[in-house]
Amino acid sequence: MIRIGLGVMACIVLLGGCASRDTQGITMATPPPSPSRLAPEIPLPLDIEQYADAPCSMLKPGQAITRDLAEGVNEGGNTCTWRAKTPQQPQMTATIDLASGGLEGLYRKRVRLPYFEPTDVRNYPAVRYDPDRSVPDQGRCTVSVGVAENALLTVTTTIADPKTLNYPVPCPDAELLANAIISDIARS
């Protein structure tokens, strides 16, 4: 009985020693540390995938933000466009992005974007950004909202007339459309 107890004890000591040190040139592999999260957590994920093939259905008809725009048209794929009726009104697009890695993917490429400003839309973490310019002016702004871990709602507003009041600050228009879309999806 004592011999069995000593044998078990010797195995435990031997196995314990193998796990903690280099034995005869063999190193036990440890998994690499996981990269830390950059983007904020998504508080209450929305099921936006259901709109990927019909993105114009994300927004219910009659929303104030699109009242003076032409009816939304699916531009093919996962983008809906509301065209301006006059140069003073913004053209707006809303895209469902299920391929770029969500908000975390956008945060990971932030160093390559001349303009990157975290914000929030309807309590969802969002980013105002521009891949070409260091400020969102000249009538164009893009806002991506993290609506699920791997999904973004990306809204872009473009104003053609430089004399328009919102031309130098177009982001509020993009955020209003994103807010209306999120409200409608949350109520669905």
User: What's residue 63's pLDDT?
Assistant: 84
Q: CA–CA separation, 75 vs 133, rounded Å?
A: 25
User: What's residue 29's pLDDT?
Assistant: 52
User: What's residue 75's pLDDT?
Assistant: 77
Q: Which CATH class for the 49-187 domain? A: alpha beta
Q: Where exactly are the structural domains of the chain?
A: 49-187
Q: Is 9 in a helix, a strand, or coil?
A: helix
Sheet with 140-148, edge to edge strand ranges: 73-74, 79-82, 90-97, 151-159, 140-148, 124-130, 115-121
Write the DSSP symbol of residue 80: E
pLDDT in tens, 117-144: 999 999 999 999 988 888 777 889 999 9
Check residue 47 and give left, alpha or beta (phi > 0: left; psi -120 to 50: alpha): beta
pLDDT in tens, 26-85: 444 544 544 698 999 998 999 999 999 999 999 988 888 888 888 999 977 899 999 988
